[in-house]
Amino acid sequence: MTIKKKPKVFSGIQPSHALHLGNYLGALKPWVESQNETDNVFCVVDLHSPTLLGDIDPKILAENSRSVAALYFAAGIDPEENIVFIQSHVPEHTEATWILSCATPLGWLNRMTQFKSKSQLVESVGTGLLTYPVLMAADILLYDTNRVPVGDDQRQHVELTRDIAMRFNNLFGDVFTIPEAVIPKLGARVMSFDEPETKMSKSIARSKAGHAVNLLDSEKQMKKTIMSAVTDSERETRFEHASKGVYNLLSLYQTLSGESKESIEAKFDGQGYGFLKKELLGIVIESLAPVQKRYAEIMDDRAELERILANGAQKAKERASVTLQRMKNATGVG
């Protein structure tokens, strides 16, 4: 009997600021739900965090990395069955990035929409903000990844990773597996509560109350954010006709409850938005309470967390070093 190999998965989250409901629904929850069907590497991508200089306090970055790893486990990622590690603990990522960046045309990076929008936020744009998608490509390609589960905002970067891998393979031979993005059907683009035309974002939530529900928010904070979410002056709770703010609330309710659109529309038909917000708040609290409880337990046993992360880094290094050697052999470096 031949045993079919599981598809290889790589994904990660930057530990820049507190994780929010968008990170949970667009990334963490789908990772947890499909973890048994795939061979997974989940990384805390701390080298991506300093791309906006001054945006992240260096004193808290290392602590945030542990906190994000703890949230992976608290959300349900099994530390025994998956490789989980902090990116900077595996230097193969930066070495591979250099080699890949030499094969990446500048024009491809200039076209990235995230670079265009984030470079508006700072006076002086660091080179890392431009080249960060190459680091992301290295992250993915080092693990012979087949699938990259991400939210919709990262689709373009995974497309770029594919282009870089194909170009590299054309230039130097068959070095890389070509990965594909896996975007969840629900929760792929959670919008913010205060500006529903803008995606919920860590960097905005950090300085703007009411923008996001963070995974470690108190019930009181969640209540304040959700009950003051932007809606409109109607009573329209059908998905197709709802305004952006109401659509976002309905979609969040749908993603968290698993109920069908029809039953949700029936439930909220003729009710005011206050009722929708209250029901959403209830389901958000119910979903996040167990995550918060497990998170507190994991953070309480720091020695165990460090052990798991060191073990993860060692396993990741074993895999990454094989691919890096292939890259070096192909390019004649070394």
* Site residues, ligand AQP (CB under 6 A): 13-14, 16, 22-23, 25-27, 150-151, 153-154, 187-190, 199-203
Q: How far is the CB of 205 from ligand AQP (least distance, A)?
A: 7
Q: Of 5, 59, 116, 118, which residue is the catalytic one?
A: 118
Q: Nearest CA to 152 among 179, 191, 188?
A: 188
Q: Of 4, 8, 116, 202, which residue is the catalytic one?
A: 202
Residue closer to ligand AQP by CB (options 165, 183) is: 183
- Residue 202 annotated among the catalytic residues of the structure: yes
- Is residue 206 within 8 Å of residue 274, measured between CB atoms? no
Residue closer to ligand AQP by CB (options 123, 262) is: 123
DSSP 133-199: HHHHHHHHHTTT-SEEE--GGGHHHHHHHHHHHHHHHHHH-S--PPPEEE--SSSSSPBPSS-TTSB
Q: Position 30: which residue type?
A: P
Q: How far is the CB of 118 from ligand AQP (least distance, A)?
A: 7
Q: How far is the CB of 273 from ligand AQP (least distance, A)?
A: 21
* Phi, psi (deg, nearest 5) at residue 241: -105, -5
DSSP 75-121: HT--TTTSEEEEGGG-THHHHHHHHHHHTS-HHHHHT-HHHHHHGGG
Residue closer to ligand AQP by CB (options 119, 321) is: 119
Residue closer to ligand AQP by CB (options 35, 311) is: 35
Q: Name the residue with the smallest CB distance to ligand AQP.
A: 26
- Residue 199 annotated among the catalytic residues of the structure: yes
What's the full length of the chain, in residues?
Answer: 334
- Residue 118 annotated among the catalytic residues of the structure: yes
What is the distance between the alpha carbons of residues 131 and 109, in angstroms, rounded to a whole number?
A: 7
Return the HEC string of 4-48. Answer: CCCCEEEEEECCCCCCEHHHHHHHHHHHHHHHHHCEEEEEECHHH
Q: How far is the CB of 94 from ligand AQP (least distance, A)?
A: 17
Q: How far is the CB of 167 from ligand AQP (least distance, A)?
A: 23
Residue closer to ligand AQP by CB (options 25, 327) is: 25
Q: Of 5, 8, 29, 199, which residue is the catalytic one?
A: 199
Q: Nearest CA to 117 among 81, 164, 153?
A: 153
Give catalytic residue positions: 118, 199, 202
